[in-house]
Amino acid sequence: MLDERKVKLMTKLALYEQTQGKEDFKISEYYRKDYAGMHVFSSFIWVTIGYMCVTVLLVLAGFDALMDSMSNSLMLMMLMIFVVGYFGVVVIYAVISSHIFNQKHKEARMRVKKYNHDLTRLLKWYEREKK
Amino acid sequence: MDGIFVMKGKLQEIYARHSVVFDKGVQFILALLVFYLINNNVGFMKAAASPVVTLALSVICTFFPAVMTVIAATALILAHMYAVSIAVLAVTAVVFLVMYIFYFRLTPKMAVVVLLMPAAFAFKIPFAVPLAYALVSTPVCMVAVMCGTIVYFMMEYVKKAAPGLSGKGLSGIMSQSSEYLKQVFQNKEMWIIIAAFLIAFLVAYTIRRQSVNHAWKVAAVAGAVINAVVNIVGDIVFGVHTSYTSLAAGSVAAVVVGLVLELMFFAVDYTKSENLQYEDDEYYYYVKAVPKLSVAKPEKTVKRISGRRETEIMDTESVRNRRREGAAHPDRGGVRPAARGSSEHGRGTSKLH
């Protein structure tokens, strides 16, 4: 005999496994600190590349003006702005990405916990049927 | 008004039954629209700008997640930029890379806004997109709106300036890149529009979250007014040419979009709202409860005109007996056939309300 409640639960589990679950299982393989740390590090690399790109764009945009008024003091000042700006951007992005990926891990763990709970319920049903 | 809500209910039912078809249909239309707009505006590479490629790309993107459409659109734009010059390709690629690194890597779902913005500009209703996201989403979308606007102005510049972009060698590439960046990022019109979108977004978002009656309607109208005012001020102060007719039409269209979104996502009955006040050990609570609007579906009245009649079964023997009796006693009247089973009226006739 088909048990309607069991079919509903199995559908719910299968739906989760085949959609959000795929990513959630990967995320929950890590501890939260490890997961967030890994992504903060990758953000650091990406932000460094992005910052270089923005600098290149800015230099290109002001290329003529820069060539006209080039001097040692101007170069030093620009270098300082570049370095300070870089550290500022890196810190801001580290904070943002740490928050985002911590939250992502937390949500994924909650969903996986709920999935495990449902799975246990299903197993209990099977055990009861065997008896 | 009830008719609209009934129609909304029916639409929701139809969507629930065929959601996959609807989702894929919308994805296909969006992809087709975006690829058509790209090819129509900056279609410098003839092979990539053909209708067959547009259609084929749209069909392929329909069967993948929405982010695939964004990737394909980016690749298509870069292919056309390559046909213009290496410098334009390099600058466009770097701008896209910066957008990806600083924003879309963290919120990939927002990438679709970058597609919607140029499409909305093409239909002269650019404010519809920021207003829609202000009503249904969070301020995180503002960055995506800004990126979409920048992409539109980049395409506009290349469309106009492509024939004049010439120069060979390293110096030619440098001067083209410099000119491209200057023209796009020092474009006052673009920054005024971005400022107007961002301010109007924040105003609409803030009002929408208030507990005032008709918050969504007020938010949509206020957002449209703020957007128009900032554009007009920018026009007067910075001398940027703005078409007031298209600005007004775009604002009205955006408000209409806002009202449709309210109907779909925030249908409440303010006449039945309740203001409650209570307290616990730590707080006093002032709660406003607004019931969701639900219209009962009109019930269908089914009137059955012809019911099933049961066949009458005659008891022939008793008829014969009665005839005989009738002949013997003619003063008792005629023959009355006896029926077995149900009455002669049958059982089926009924009215269902």
CB contact under 8 A, A53 and B97: yes
Number of domains within chain B:
1
- What pLDDT, in 10s, does the model give residues B70-92? 999 999 999 999 988 888 899 99
Q: Which amino acid is at B57?
A: L
User: B50-64, B159-173, B327-341: lowest mean pLDDT where?
Assistant: B327-341
> How many CB atoms are closer than 10 A to CB A124?
10
CA of B106 vs chain A CAs: smallest distance (Å) = 7
State the Cα–Cα distance between residues B38 and B59, nearest whole angstrom. 16
**Closest Cα in chain A to B179:** A61
Q: Chain A contact for B178, CB < 8 A? A: yes
Residue B330: pLDDT band by 50, 70, 90 thresholds? low
Checking if the pLDDT of A9 tops 50, the result is yes
- What pLDDT, in 10s, does the model give residues B181-240? 888 888 899 999 999 999 999 999 999 999 899 999 999 999 999 999 999 999 999 888
Q: Chain A contact for B181, CB < 8 A? A: yes
Give the pair of three-digit tokens for residue A130: 């065997």
Computed over every residue of chain B, the mean pLDDT equals 84
Non-local CB neighbours of B148 within 8 Å, separated by 6+ positions: B113, B114, B115, B116, B117, B118, B129
Q: Which amino acid is at B125?
A: I
Q: Is A17 within a domain?
A: no
**The domain containing residue A90 runs over which residues?**
40-124
Q: Is B213 within a domain?
A: no
Q: Identify all chain A residues contacting B178, using CB atoms and an 8 Å cutoff.
A: 60-61, 63-64
Give the pair of three-digit tokens for residue B28: 């296909």
What are the distances in angstroms from CA B296 to CA B8, B262, B273?
Answer: 12, 19, 19
Q: Which residue has the tokens 């300070």?
A: A84
CA of B134 vs chain A CAs: smallest distance (Å) = 21
**The domain containing residue B313 runs over which residues?**
302-352
Residue B280: pLDDT band by 50, 70, 90 thresholds? confident
CB contact under 8 A, A53 and B98: yes
State the Cα–Cα distance between residues B15 and B25, nearest whole angstrom. 12
Q: Is B153 within a domain?
A: no
Checking if the pLDDT of B299 tops 90, the result is no
Checking if the pLDDT of B347 tops 70, the result is no
- Mean pLDDT computed over B278-289: 88
State the Cα–Cα distance between residues B300 and B64, nearest whole angstrom. 42
Q: Is B224 within a domain?
A: no
Number of domains within chain A:
1
CA of B301 vs chain A CAs: smallest distance (Å) = 33
Q: Is A89 within a domain?
A: yes
- What pLDDT, in 10s, does the model give residues B230-263? 999 999 998 888 888 999 999 999 999 999 999 8
CB contact under 8 A, A56 and B95: no
CB contact under 8 A, B178 and A57: no
Q: Chain A contact for B91, CB < 8 A? A: yes
Looking at residue B166, what is its pLDDT? 65
State the Cα–Cα distance between residues B44 and A37, nearest whole angstrom. 44
Residue B284's H or E segment, with its range, is strand B284-289
Q: Is B342 within a domain?
A: yes
User: B109-123, B205-219, B221-235, B320-334: lowest mean pLDDT where?
Assistant: B320-334
CB of B192 closer than 8 Å to CB of B172: no
Q: Chain A contact for B105, CB < 8 A? A: yes
User: Of how many residues is chain A composed?
Assistant: 131
Q: Quick check: helix, strand or coil at residue B337?
A: coil
Q: Is A15 within a domain?
A: no
The CA R_g of chain B, rounded to the nearest whole Å, is 35
Widest distance between CA atoms in chain B? 133
Higher pLDDT, B293 or B150: B150
Q: Which of A53, A63, A97 sits opposite B94 (nearest CB)?
A: A53
Q: Chain A contact for B97, CB < 8 A? A: yes
Give the pair of three-digit tokens for residue A3: 């048990």
Give the pair of three-digit tokens for residue B118: 């140029």
Closest CA to B125 of B225, B250, B249, B222: B250
Checking if the pLDDT of B327 tops 80, the result is no
Q: Identify all chain B residues contacting A19, using CB atoms and an 8 Å cutoff.
A: none
**Closest Cα in chain A to B98:** A50
- What pLDDT, in 10s, does the model give residues B176-186? 888 888 888 88
Q: Is B314 within a domain?
A: yes
CB pairs < 8 Å spanning A and B: 39
Higher pLDDT, A64 or B15: B15
Looking at residue B339, what is its pLDDT? 43
Q: Is A5 within a domain?
A: no
Q: Is B215 within a domain?
A: no
Looking at residue A72, what is its pLDDT? 84
- What pLDDT, in 10s, does the model give residues A30-43? 999 999 999 999 99
State the Cα–Cα distance between residues B174 and B154, nearest whole angstrom. 17
Q: Identify all chain A residues contacting B89, using CB atoms and an 8 Å cutoff.
A: none
Q: Chain A contact for B101, CB < 8 A? A: yes
- ipTM (interface pTM): 0.70
Q: Is A30 within a domain?
A: no
Q: Is B242 within a domain?
A: no
Looking at residue B337, what is its pLDDT? 46
Q: Quick check: helix, strand or coil at residue B277?
A: strand
- Can you list the alpha helix ranges (DSSP code H) found in chain B? 2-17, 19-42, 51-62, 66-84, 86-99, 111-122, 128-136, 141-161, 169-185, 188-208, 215-238, 244-265, 316-328
Q: DSSP letters of B99-166?
A: HIIIIITT-GGGHHHHHHHHHHHHTT-TTHHHHHHHHHS-TTHHHHHHHHHHHHHHHHHHHHHGGG--
SS3 string, chain A, reads: CCCHHHHHHHHHHHHHHHCHHHHHHHHCCCCHHHHHHHHHHHHHHHHHHHHHHHHHHHHHHCHHHHHHCCCHHHHHHHHHHHHHHHHHHHHHHHHHHHHHHHHHHHHHHHHHHHHHHHHHHHHHHHHHHHC
Q: Identify all chain B residues contacting A95, using CB atoms and an 8 Å cutoff.
A: none
Interface test with B, best of A60, A66, A103 (most B CBs within 10 A): A60
Checking if the pLDDT of B351 tops 80, the result is no
Q: Is B173 within a domain?
A: no
